[in-house]
Chain A
Amino acid sequence: DIQMTQSPSTLSASVGDRAIITCRASQSISNWLAWYQQKPGRAPKLLIYQASNLESGVPLRFSGSGSGTEFTLTISSLQPDDFAAYYCLQYSTYPYTFGQGTKLEIK
């Protein structure tokens, strides 16, 4: 199985800061990487697919990059609504696997 290592597990930041979350795959997944935001009591919401494609309706402050084994999610200027949990997902190979998550909290 492909292991997805996400870091950091917790990120403390302030409104207006730039946040960067990384995901590393245990083997190459090309660009079959998605990023999700999840708020308490809600289902995950797709932000980015195929590593760098912004899902419709997602604010432009969210961006994704990377290929192969190293990926990043960048939030350029944090807004109050962005404080949530974030997960990466590799969907290159079955079994699909998720990162363990990053909790983005207000400093």
Chain B
Amino acid sequence: EVQLVESGGGLIQSGGSLRLSCAASGVTVTGNSMTWVRQSPVKGLEWVSTIHDNGRIEYTDSVKGRFTISRDSSKNTVYLQMHSLRAEDTAIYYCATYRRALDVWGQGTMVTVSS
């Protein structure tokens, strides 16, 4: 059974940094594409970033230059390093696997950016 567990969220001031983690079991983060999606009442569900099994990386425009996705095969974990956080980054952040669409999701971690 595939399970994803996110952590690292919290309350942070505008301009600050956070690193989110997504620990995977039942699937290898290097053998699958892994994605971060966020959800807020204002913007709804929003795709943020994907790291493909071949290492190719994609970002939504609003986070380019501020967020970095990466993975650690030894820990079977995917990360989202977030810098220069803004109020509009406030959301629940989910990680998900891509095998048949975004098929397995974690429980999410809340990020609140205060201005």
- Residues of A whose CB lies within 8 Å of any CB of B are 34, 42-46, 49-50, 53, 55, 87, 89, 91, 94-98, 100-101
CB < 8 Å: which of B44, B61, B105, B107 contacts A95? B61
Given the interface contacts A43-B108, A44-B105, A94-B58, does A50 sit within 8 Å of B100 by beta carbon? yes
Name B's interface SS.
Answer: strand
Q: Encode B79-99 as 1/0 by CB contact (under 8 A) with A.
A: 000000000000000100010
Residues in A whose Cβ lies below 8 Å from that of B44: 87, 98, 100-101
CB < 8 Å: which of A43, A91, A94, A97 contacts B101? A91
Q: Encode B1-42 as 1/0 by CB contact (under 8 A) with A.
A: 000000000000000000000000000000000010000000
Given the interface contacts A95-B61, A100-B44, A101-B44, does A49 sit within 8 Å of B107 by beta carbon? no
Smallest beta-carbon distance A64→chain B, Å: 11
CA–CA, A45 to B94, complex, Å?
Answer: 12
CA–CA, A48 to B51, complex, Å?
Answer: 23
Interface residues on chain B, size class? 20 to 34
Name the interface residues of B29-76: CB closer than 8 Å to any CB of A.
35, 44-47, 50, 58, 60-61
Cβ contact within 8 Å between B45 and A95:
no
Cβ contact within 8 Å between B107 and A43:
yes
Cβ contact within 8 Å between B101 and A89:
yes
Cβ contact within 8 Å between B60 and A95:
yes
Cβ contact within 8 Å between A95 and B47:
yes
CB < 8 Å: which of B102, B107, B108 contacts A91? B102
Residues in A whose Cβ lies below 8 Å from that of B100: 46, 49-50, 53, 55
Given the interface contacts A95-B60, A98-B46, does A46 sit within 8 Å of B106 by beta carbon? no
Given contacts A46-B103, A55-B100, 14 further A-B contacts (CB under 8 A): A34-B102, A42-B107, A43-B94, A43-B105, A43-B108, A45-B105, A46-B101, A55-B103, A89-B45, A89-B101, A96-B35, A97-B47, A98-B44, A101-B44
